[in-house]
Amino acid sequence: MEDLLVIGAGIFGLTLARKLQRAGHRVTVVEAGAVGAGASATPLGVLAPHAPDTWNPKKEAQFRALVSLPDYLAELEDETGIATGYARCGRLIPLTTENQRSVWERRIADAALNWQGKAMLERVERPDPAWLSAQAAPFGAMLCGLSAKIDARGYLAALAASVGEAVRTGLVLERLEQGVAIFATGERIMARRIVLATGAAAFAHLPHSDSGEPAGRGEKGQAAVLAVSGDVGARPIIFHDGTYVVPRGETMVAVGATSERHFERAETTDALLDEKIARGKALCPALADARVVERWAAARPRAADRGLLVGPHPVLHGVSIATGGFKTGLAMAHMLDIGSVS
Ligand SMILES: Cc1cc2nc3c(=O)[nH]c(=O)nc-3n(C[C@H](O)[C@H](O)[C@H](O)COP(=O)(O)OP(=O)(O)OC[C@H]3O[C@@H](n4cnc5c(N)ncnc54)[C@H](O)[C@@H]3O)c2cc1C
């Protein structure tokens, strides 16, 4: 019998496996595809705070996650020698109406208070039109100094290296019973505790609520990577109306993401991504002649209340759940508490 079995080698499963190992547990991680086969390998890698006004415990928790992540990553990089590409690059939010400008200007004071001197929110009267189109920002832009980016694939590779031999790939979970995971090959793995970290697929193993609602669902997202001419490495992220433009390295830019509630296949891309790329190009003139080098899609794990779903399985003794990162899993994963799953 295994001590702890973690199912799913995304950001949640690998982070928990590493923490559990460090706490002295013997951990095995099993994964249907390869490490990072799910939503965690997003090319966007945005780490952005909620708006700093109407502060609440959820915003405070995300703020604490964002400000503690650099030290956590530095330690992971020291241990593994693998770069995670973290950079506090900032995020430009174009202002398209006068009302929007006054709302955001009021938030400058909220940021000064709630971000506790760790970062600032500033107004930029005239953003560089070579990066943020002047037409897209008729009232200037806000620069969110707390926003950062990460190379999600590097982050996953570093976690996998840290976890080491414990990861077994090619095992597809079919069903769970008390203390046993049963895989498509027929293999049964017994464990003192099983942690279900299969992202959007985890909800299928959870009962519906009393009112018949599922515990969560997958929400598909598509994103692309474009090669640009010229060095964009020092540019900030741009975010407008659901569209992100994220410099990746010196000559790559990621654009995304779509949000699709209804879909047949999570991993295919289509015309919705082309529309998203067009929106990215309208925001950012540097993308005008850019060439698409990658099209990517996956299902985000969206819990019914959009929060994290971490804790004991409501029915199966010896099984825990760790999912629900939705759009912020990369920023939040390192804050997961192993006490709630072990
Ligand atoms: C387009 C898009 C863009 C995103 N951008 C960002 C962003 O910029 N910043 C951010 O913080 N978050 C972003 N997210 C959200 C983020 O990806 C998720 O919050 C996070 O990755 C969820 O991690 P996870 O480990 O729970 O799930 P996953 O990464 O999906 O991991 C689940 C793992 O379980 C495996 N698995 C599934 N079913 C089985 C099975 N039956 N048996 C065995 N293994 C199985 C999968 O192969 C996968 O490897 C984005 C998501 C999408 C789709």
Give per-residue pLDDT as tens, 42-55. 999 999 999 999 99
How many residues are listed for the chain in this entry?
342
Provide φ and ψ at 181, rounded to 5°.
-110, 130
CA–CA distance, 342 with 340 (Å, rounded to integer): 6
The per-residue pLDDT of the chain, averaged, comes to 96
Q: What is the mean pLDDT of residues 189-199?
A: 96
Q: What is the mean pLDDT of residues 59-63?
A: 96
Element (H, E) at 154: helix 152-163
Ligand 1 atom closest to the Cα of residue 328 is 11
To the question of pTM greater than 0.95 for the whole model, the response is: yes
Ligand 1 atom closest to the Cα of residue 257 is 1
Pick the CATH number of 1-45+151-215+304-342 from 3.50.50.60, 3.40.605.10, 3.30.360.10, 3.30.70.100: 3.50.50.60
Q: In the chain, where are the structural domains located?
A: 1-45+151-215+304-342
User: In sequence order, what are the beta bridge partners of 303?
Assistant: 216
What's the confidence (pLDDT) of residue 63? 97
- The confidence band for 233, taking pLDDT boundaries of 50, 70 and 90, is very high
Measured at the CA of 52, the angle between CA 49 and CA 56, to 5 degrees, comes to 95
Q: What is the mean pLDDT of residues 201-220?
A: 92
What's the confidence (pLDDT) of residue 340? 82
What does the pLDDT look like over 66-108, one tens digit per residue? 999 999 999 999 999 999 999 999 999 999 999 999 999 999 9
Instruction: Give ligand 1 pocket residues (Cβ under 6 A).
Output: 7-13, 31-33, 37-40, 42, 44-46, 172-173, 197-199, 201, 221-223, 256-257, 298, 300-301, 323, 325-331
Q: What is the CA radius of gyration of the chain?
A: 21
Q: Residue holding tokens 């991504």? A: 273
User: In sequence order, what are the beta bridge partners of 92?
Assistant: 143, 238
What's the confidence (pLDDT) of residue 57? 94
Measured at the CA of 189, the angle between CA 184 and CA 193, to 5 degrees, comes to 125
The alpha carbon of 202 and the centre of ligand 1 are apart by a number of angstroms equal to: 11
- The confidence band for 114, taking pLDDT boundaries of 50, 70 and 90, is very high
pLDDT for residue 178 is more than 80: yes
What's the confidence (pLDDT) of residue 307? 87
Nearest CA to ligand 1 atom 13: 327
Q: What is the mean pLDDT of residues 232-258?
A: 97
For residue 121, give the amino acid letter. Answer: L
Instruction: Look at 67-76, 154-163, 187-196, 302-311 and tell me which has the smallest mean pLDDT.
Output: 302-311
What's the confidence (pLDDT) of residue 305? 86
Element (H, E) at 79: helix 57-80
